[in-house]
């Protein structure tokens, strides 16, 4: 009898413990959305809910059980394990795979503890999981930014085994969905064709968006996606997940529809050629994955991400940006002090803030007079620029503009003194013929000595030249000849440690030089992620500045980045378009120029000067306001976007006729984001001197309500025409 009572008591307390465990919910909440995790009976952690925020705590117990143990303790149904591991009862793609010292490839993670604390803009939740058979631990991190409805998540993996373990999967996180349909929009491309948007329905099996390029990482695929939940992605309606991984290297974003029709999303460093040997007691930190779930399409989702970036992630996100004149498209490598001084005066004549000197200013034994020599030797070419950087920055200062300079410090040409001195600093095979991308090779940033060198390049330029006010940091080659002389028999770490080496350099630079603005560039827009943007104030979207093409490129990037992070220049690409059309397109982002004023007619120069002044006047809306994508170039022969300042006193509408059809029916453009109860004056700006607006709305006053419900006629039937309307509260 006694035995029976004891058995009953034990059973009862076991049930209680199980009950307690299943009661354990972890809520990761923004103002409108939440992710709910649950510790299940088996002690493991599952996703219970991701969607609109639930109002009543008491409802949590009604959420479907994450996973239920059978009476014999076995797991009766596969659940949505938050950090699903290899070798368990889930037969689909895991978040983590570890080969232990004894060769066992399985890892089962059990909940240990969690806690939350307030951080700037939100709440940081930390959850610890541990294997019950091996001393392996994973810490999951989530930061929920309340107002912007943005989540940021990453993971840390550590172990205390005797020798290194091998990691073959190391996801940032995993998210699960159950919907009748899933539609993925990806942003793919190539040089001069960045962020081409295309969509497809996800079917059973895997779709992986990834890159294996190493350094010029996003040349073929950009590190972000949109996922339509239930229907294809739309701008103003439908539930959509928008996600981006902060990793300036090989990434992979896996979308797997399983046998039950459920979808898992796994953002991660690409494990390709990267079986990572992790030493005991060292921490492997995954990249941050940033995401937002919008119930009303990508428009609100983008505004969430743009606002979040300006407040919390982008370097100097709240600060102003400098307009500039660059010389790359104008002079290429062909310049000297006199020519550059002339351009600095042209910059001043344009009314921009800065002159930016591009590639071709360095190298003495092997001068950089083309892209075949000089990379690595960051000394001014004395024959070309005898006064050095100082004379250049002095000349800029005399002209009344700031001075910025181009560098590509992660690279080396074999024709350079650096390569002659340190061939062992270069990523390349010891036993194969070397192949080249743009005649250059990538420095081995896994090597701390190389990190010191790259840090020293930038540090020295800044220390010796207080007149340098800006860097354009380029990166034109992918990692080629994939072998690190430094890593020796641990080549699985190359792709990962190389990126970490770049971050080490950037972090050191920011420690010492916190305020210098820097443009991230990678042969156009092949680097554009939110980890790098902790160190860079902006990025170069593309070398393609043909305004027609550029509208698509800027449209694509705007889904994830605020306009102040995106550099756009007026150049000579597609000279058959008007200077006005080109400038109006560039004015939607951080405005710059890259052409000689001698190719402008006097009225064009006058127009440009006024456009720069207008851009500055409307920068509270363009740089720091909310952006509304109104008419998509992907859907018709026109495009329109408006920006509204935070206080809704100022807005600016950009409208473009791309390739209208003959006799096409035109519709008014309805603005968004205005105060419906305020009156606004509409005025067409950026007009060519001597011309008058032909729009009926020019000079008229309308309520915000009218502008948003009825809209304005701004489109026409001629190709390559643009209108910019200033909308100012009365
Ligand atoms: C590629 C960049 O995208 C260009 O703007 C220019 O800086 C060149 N590199 C210089 O080599």
CA of 524 from ligand 1 middle (Å) equals 7
Task: Decide whether any atom of ligand 1 lies within 6 Å of the 439 Cβ.
Answer: no
CA of 474 from ligand 1 middle (Å) equals 7
What pTM value is reported for the model? 0.96
- Report CA-CA distances (Å) from 199 to 206, 242, 506: 15, 14, 35
Rounded to an integer, what distance in angstroms lies between the CA atom of residue 327 and that of residue 344? 10
Which atom of ligand 1 is nearest the CA belonging to 524?
A: 3
- Which residue CA neighbors atom 1 of ligand 1 most closely? 523
Count how many residues are written for the chain: 730
Which atom of ligand 1 is nearest the CA belonging to 521?
A: 3
**CB-CB contact of 399 with 355 (8 Å):** yes
Those residues whose C-beta lies under 8 Å from the C-beta of residue 252, and which sit 6 or more positions away, are 208, 209, 210, 211, 266, 267, 268, 269, 270, 271, 272
- Which residue CA neighbors atom 10 of ligand 1 most closely? 359
Residue appearing with tokens 């991400």: 305
Strand partners, 142: 125, 153
CA of 226 from ligand 1 middle (Å) equals 29
What is the per-residue pLDDT for 84? 96
Strand partners, 251: 269
CA of 13 from ligand 1 middle (Å) equals 68
CA of 472 from ligand 1 middle (Å) equals 9
CA of 485 from ligand 1 middle (Å) equals 28
Based on DSSP, count helices (H) and strands (E) in the chain, helices before strands: 13, 36
**CB-CB contact of 254 with 93 (8 Å):** yes
Task: Decide whether any atom of ligand 1 lies within 6 Å of the 540 Cβ.
Answer: yes
Task: Decide whether any atom of ligand 1 lies within 6 Å of the 521 Cβ.
Answer: yes
Task: Decide whether any atom of ligand 1 lies within 6 Å of the 312 Cβ.
Answer: no
- Which residue CA neighbors atom 11 of ligand 1 most closely? 359
At 450 the three-state DSSP class reads helix
Task: Decide whether any atom of ligand 1 lies within 6 Å of the 108 Cβ.
Answer: no
Task: Decide whether any atom of ligand 1 lies within 6 Å of the 525 Cβ.
Answer: no
Which atom of ligand 1 is nearest the CA belonging to 406?
A: 7
Q: Got the DSSP string for 276-323?
A: EEEPTT--EEPPEEEEEEETB-HHHHHHHHHHHIIIIISTTTTS----
Task: Decide whether any atom of ligand 1 lies within 6 Å of the 680 Cβ.
Answer: no
CA of 621 from ligand 1 middle (Å) equals 29
Those residues whose C-beta lies under 8 Å from the C-beta of residue 657, and which sit 6 or more positions away, are 637, 638, 715, 716, 717, 718, 719, 720, 721, 722
CB 203: neighbour CB atoms within 10 A?
Answer: 10
- Which residue CA neighbors atom 9 of ligand 1 most closely? 523
Which atom of ligand 1 is nearest the CA belonging to 472?
A: 7
CB 181: neighbour CB atoms within 10 A?
Answer: 14
Q: What is the largest CA-CA distance in the chain?
A: 106
SS (H, E, C) 609-652: HHHHHHHHHCHHHHCCCEEEEEECCCCCCEEEEEEECCCCCEEE
Task: Decide whether any atom of ligand 1 lies within 6 Å of the 573 Cβ.
Answer: no
Radius of gyration of the chain (CA): 28
CA of 358 from ligand 1 middle (Å) equals 7
CA of 523 from ligand 1 middle (Å) equals 5
Task: Decide whether any atom of ligand 1 lies within 6 Å of the 358 Cβ.
Answer: yes
Residue appearing with tokens 């354009």: 472
**CB-CB contact of 379 with 362 (8 Å):** yes
Which atom of ligand 1 is nearest the CA belonging to 594?
A: 5
CA of 572 from ligand 1 middle (Å) equals 15
Which atom of ligand 1 is nearest the CA belonging to 358?
A: 7
Rounded to an integer, what distance in angstroms lies between the CA atom of residue 355 and that of residue 63? 59
Task: Decide whether any atom of ligand 1 lies within 6 Å of the 593 Cβ.
Answer: no
Mean pLDDT, consecutive 10-residue segments, the chain of 730 residues? 39 41 83 96 94 95 73 66 93 97 97 97 98 98 98 98 98 97 98 98 98 98 98 98 98 96 98 98 98 98 98 98 98 98 98 98 98 98 98 98 98 98 98 97 98 98 98 98 97 98 98 98 98 98 98 98 98 98 98 96 98 98 98 98 98 98 96 98 98 98 98 98 98
Task: Decide whether any atom of ligand 1 lies within 6 Å of the 408 Cβ.
Answer: no
Task: Decide whether any atom of ligand 1 lies within 6 Å of the 523 Cβ.
Answer: yes
Q: What sign results for the dihedral spanned by CA atoms 489, 495, 497, 502? A: positive
Those residues whose C-beta lies under 8 Å from the C-beta of residue 214, and which sit 6 or more positions away, are 249, 250, 442, 478, 479, 482, 495, 498
CA of 437 from ligand 1 middle (Å) equals 14
Strand partners, 177: 263
CA of 255 from ligand 1 middle (Å) equals 34
Q: Got the DSSP string for 532-599?
A: GGGT-SEEE--S---HHHHHHHHHHHTTTS-GGGEEEEE-STTTTS-HHHHHHHHTTSEEEE-S-GGG
- Which residue CA neighbors atom 2 of ligand 1 most closely? 523
**CB-CB contact of 280 with 136 (8 Å):** no
CA of 545 from ligand 1 middle (Å) equals 12
Q: Ligand 1 pocket check: which of 369, 406, 477 to mutate, most ligand atoms within 8 Å of Cβ?
A: 406
**CB-CB contact of 136 with 284 (8 Å):** no
Which atom of ligand 1 is nearest the CA belonging to 371?
A: 11
What is the per-residue pLDDT for 19? 45
Q: Which domains does the chain have, with CATH numbers?
A: 1-170 (2.70.98.60), 627-729 (2.60.40.1180)
Which atom of ligand 1 is nearest the CA belonging to 543?
A: 3
At 609, phi and psi to the nearest 5? -55, -45
């Amino acid at each position: 009898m006694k035995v029976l009572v004891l058995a009953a008591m034990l059973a009862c307390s076991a049930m209680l413990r199980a009950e307690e465990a299943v009661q354990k919910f972890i809520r990761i909440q923004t103002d409108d959305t939440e992710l709910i995790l649950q510790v299940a009976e088996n002690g493991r952690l599952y996703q219970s809910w991701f969607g609109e925020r639930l109002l009543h705590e008491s409802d949590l117990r009604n959420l479907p059980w994450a996973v239920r143990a059978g009476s014999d303790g076995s797991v009766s149904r596969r659940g949505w394990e938050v950090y699903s591991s290899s070798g368990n009862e889930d037969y689909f793609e895991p978040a983590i795979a570890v080969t232990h010292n004894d060769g066992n490839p399985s890892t089962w993670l059990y909940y240990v503890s969690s806690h939350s604390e307030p951080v700037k803009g939100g709440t940081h939740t930390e959850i610890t999981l541990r294997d019950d058979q091996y001393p392996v631990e994973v810490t999951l991190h989530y930061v929920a930014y309340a107002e912007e409805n943005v989540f940021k998540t990453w993971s840390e993996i550590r172990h205390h085994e005797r020798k290194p373990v091998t990691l073959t999967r190391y996801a940032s996180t995993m998210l699960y969905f159950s919907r009748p349909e899933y539609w993925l929009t990806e942003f793919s491309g190539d040089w001069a064709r960045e962020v081409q948007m295309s969509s497809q329905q996800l079917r059973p099996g895997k779709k992986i968006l990834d890159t294996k390029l190493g350094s010029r990482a996003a040349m073929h695929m950009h590190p972000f996606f949109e996922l339509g939940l239930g229907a294809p992605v739309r701008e103003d309606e439908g539930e959509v997940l928008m996600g981006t991984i902060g990793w300036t290297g090989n990434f992979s974003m896996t979308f797997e529809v399983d046998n039950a029709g459920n979808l898992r999303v796994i953002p991660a460093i690409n494990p390709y050629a990267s079986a990572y040997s992790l030493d005991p007691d060292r921490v492997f930190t995954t990249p941050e994955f940033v995401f937002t779930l919008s119930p009303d399409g990508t428009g609100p989702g983008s505004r969430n991400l743009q606002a979040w970036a300006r407040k919390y992630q982008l370097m100097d996100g709240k600060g102003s940006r400098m307009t500039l004149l660059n010389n790359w498209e104008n002079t290429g490598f062909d310049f000297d002090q006199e020519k550059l001084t002339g351009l600095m005066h042209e910059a001043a004549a344009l009314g921009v803030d800065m002159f930016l000197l591009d590639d071709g200013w360095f190298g003495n034994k092997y001068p950089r007079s083309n892209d075949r020599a000089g990379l690595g030797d960051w000394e001014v070419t004395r024959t070309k620029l005898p006064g050095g950087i100082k004379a250049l920055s002095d000349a800029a200062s005399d002209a009344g503009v700031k001075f910025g300079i181009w560098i590509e410090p992660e690279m080396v040409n074999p024709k350079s003194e650096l390569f002659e001195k340190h061939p062992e600093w270069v990523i390349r095979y010891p036993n194969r013929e070397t192949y080249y991308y743009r005649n250059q090779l990538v420095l081995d940033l896994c090597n701390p000595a190389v990190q010191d060198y790259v840090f020293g390049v930038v540090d020295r330029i800044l220390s010796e030249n207080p007149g340098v006010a800006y860097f354009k940091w380029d990166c034109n080659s992918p990692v080629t000849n994939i072998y690190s002389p430094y890593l020796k028999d641990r080549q699985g770490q190359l792709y990962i440690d190389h990126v970490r080496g770049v971050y080490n350099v950037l972090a050191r630079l920011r420690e010492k030089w916190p305020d210098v603005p820097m443009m991230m560039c990678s042969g156009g827009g092949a680097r554009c992620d939110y980890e790098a943007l902790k160190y860079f104030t902006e990025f170069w979207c593309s070398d393609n500045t043909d305004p027609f093409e550029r509208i698509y490129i800027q449209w694509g990037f705007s889904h994830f980045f605020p306009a102040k992070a995106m550099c756009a220049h007026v150049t000579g690409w597609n000279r058959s378009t008007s200077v006005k059309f080109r400038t109006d397109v560039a004015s939607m982002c951080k405005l710059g120029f890259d052409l000689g004023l001698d190719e402008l007619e006097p009225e064009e120069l006058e127009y440009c000067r006024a456009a720069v002044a207008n851009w500055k006047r409307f920068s509270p809306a363009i740089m720091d306001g909310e952006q509304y994508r109104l008419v998509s170039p992907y859907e018709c022969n026109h495009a329109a976007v408006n920006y509204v300042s935070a206080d809704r006193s100022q807005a600016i509408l950009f409208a473009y006729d791309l390739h209208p059809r003959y006799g096409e029916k035109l519709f008014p453009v309805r603005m968004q984001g205005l105060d419906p109860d305020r009156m606004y004056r509409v005025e067409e700006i950026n007009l060519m001197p001597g011309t008058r607006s032909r729009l009926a709305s020019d000079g008229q006053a309308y309520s915000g309500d009218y502008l948003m419900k009825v809209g304005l006629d701004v489109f026409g039937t001629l190709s390559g025409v643009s209108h910019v309307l200033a909308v100012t509260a009365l």
